Structure 1
Amino acid sequence: MDRIVSIMAQLRDPASGCPWDIEQTFDTIAPYTIEEAYEVADACVRGDMAALKDELGDLLLQVVFHARMAEEAGAFAIGDVVDAISDKMERRHPHVFGSDPRESGHAQWEVIKAAERAEKEPDPSAIGGVALALPALMRAEKIQKRAARVGFDWPDATGARAKIDEELAEVADAVTDADRVEEIGDLLFAVVNWARHLKIDPEVALRAATAKFERRFRVIEAIAGDAFARLSLEEKEALWVKAKAGG
């Protein structure tokens, strides 16, 4: 850690550092941080340990980068970041680091998190504090879970499933483009809600579906070769059926 912290300090040195690193801000670096987190997730899905090692390093660099800029602004340093997360982990695991082994489980974790949010979150809403930068499906699910904790939720998956039919009908009845955008959004939100009731992570499910589509599309491209673009839709669909049969 000392080595990478020192490297970042040199890169950000106003006199002798790297011009690109020097001109970066929290806003310009944030997209790279998000991208690196996804690269870590991708390596995990592929089970590629060599790639995971590299991607975790890239993600760690993002933490060090943000901490260095904060230190330059007189806000905090990397040591404060490590101390803060260490304190948080001990605080949220009283069954491990405390004196009462009964205070265990995910429910206790959520209780402690809620209490922490109440202390520092200016938004008193039960759904406050969910990051705007999260992927839309993930943020929808988190908002729904927050609402469910205070009793605003379907009692089971039946109501959530019926809501999808309702939203589909509203999409079909929409007249303007603006209406269709709104109703499609409502439909997606309803699908996320149904997935949540079925204990399915919608972000993971959609990623898997996209990967499956990509895999099959590459198959039909390979079969058709250079002639792919000239095939009729019916011919492409026939190739698609073959690709589906192969997985």
Structure 2
Amino acid sequence: MQTRTLSDISPERLEQLLAFDRLLNIMDDLRAKCPWDKKQTLQSLRHLTIEETYELSDAILENDLPEIKKELGDLFLHMVFYAKIGSETGDFDISSVLHGICEKLIVRHPHIYGDVQADTEEKVKQNWEQIKLKEGDGKKSVLGGVPQSLPALVKAMRIQEKARGAGFDWEEKQQVWEKVEEEMAEFKEHFNAEDDSVIDPEKAEGEFGDLLFSLVNYARFIDLNPETALERTNKKFIKRFNYLESQSRADGKQLHEMTLAEMDEYWNQAKKL
């Protein structure tokens, strides 16, 4: 890529760079002068970064743009904080971090910065995964890049996406749905709620896992994000249950004293709202 000079930078981009420079300078001050900031390590910041990431996720699900802006700022702070700590140990700094991601993006987008043809999103993903494997001298597993600590639902989708990038996937969504029905039938064999037969918990858990995995697969085939779908349902349930609690309390009722039919009346009111 051609090297740019200050004269090539637009006023808008210069303003962005100055804002980033301001954050870097503030981070220098905090690390040097603030008792709390001076004590932080990569390990101590880890759980805070995870929390900030989930807060950003919540804001995105709510489409709360002012909150998204705020949470993005918090995450920027964390990234700059990690880079500052790395510069103190001499392992990396913000410059090497940013140049590193720039180089990776250039290498993994040969259809933009090279002569490779990739006219579809799927082809871009396949190229990305193949390049990642080459970067590991061909010894790294296709699934090796899936973090072990990911929530199971997210991990299932990432596993499937990476397998697809290597060419291992179903051809038609109907095949995937047939797999869902097959897994449902197998689950029902081990967990029949219609009778009082003894259930093998270990087998039932295994079959239920297979069923969930196949449902995640189908969601992927019809361009749904299962994590987002489930979280939206969680939020919907919470709102409706909160309504049930508040309205029944306003009517002088206690949940533990109400029948299910009485609760359903409030639940249906919440659904209409």
TM-score, normalized by length of structure 2?
A: 0.75
* 67-76 vs 56-65, which moves further: 67-76
- 2:231 aligned partner, one-letter code: R
- 2:178 aligned partner, one-letter code: G
Q: Could you tell me which residue of structure 1 aligns to residue 240 of structure 2?
A: 216
What displacement does 1:58 show?
A: 0.3
* 108-117 vs 74-83, which moves further: 108-117
| Correspondence 1:243 to 2:260 | no
What displacement does 1:86 show?
A: 2.0
What displacement does 1:184 show?
A: 3.5
Q: Secondary structure at the match of 2:264?
A: helix
- Residues 197 and 109 of structure 1, relative CA distance in 2, 3 Å threshold: closer
CA distance in 2, matches of 1:22, 1:122: 41
What displacement does 1:171 show?
A: 4.8
Q: Could you tell me which residue of structure 2 aligns to residue 27 of structure 1?
A: 43
CA distance in 2, matches of 1:148, 1:167: 25
What displacement does 1:75 show?
A: 1.1
Mapped contact 2:240–2:270 kept (Cα < 8 A): yes
Which stretches of structure 1, 4 residues or more, deviate above 6 A after TM superposition? none
What displacement does 1:209 show?
A: 0.9
Mapped contact 2:83–2:93 kept (Cα < 8 A): yes
CA distance in 2, matches of 1:195, 1:110: 20
- Residues 32 and 81 of structure 1, relative CA distance in 2, 3 Å threshold: same
The counterpart of 1:231, out of the listed 246, 250, 258, is 258
| Correspondence 1:91 to 2:107 | yes
* 61-70 vs 107-116, which moves further: 107-116
Q: Could you tell me which residue of structure 2 aligns to residue 158 of structure 1?
A: 177
CA distance in 2, matches of 1:104, 1:79: 32
- 1:143 aligned partner, one-letter code: I
Q: Could you tell me which residue of structure 2 aligns to residue 2 of structure 1?
A: 21
CA distance in 2, matches of 1:57, 1:32: 14
Q: How does 1:1-247 map to 2 (within 5 A)?
A: 1-13=20-32, 16-18=33-35, 20-98=36-114, 100=115, 102-106=117-121, 107-120=123-136, 124-155=140-171, 156-169=175-188, 171-172=190-191, 175=199, 177-225=201-249, 227-229=253-255, 230-244=257-271, 246=272
Q: Which runs of 5+ in 2 are unaligned?
A: 1-19, 193-197
CA distance in 2, matches of 1:237, 1:160: 35
- Residues 158 and 176 of structure 1, relative CA distance in 2, 3 Å threshold: closer
Aligned length: 242
- Cα RMSD (Å): 2.8
TM-score, normalized by length of structure 1?
A: 0.82
Indicate the structure (1 or 2) with the bigger Cα radius of gyration: 2
CA distance in 1, matches of 2:186, 2:91: 47
What displacement does 1:97 show?
A: 3.8
What displacement does 1:103 show?
A: 4.1
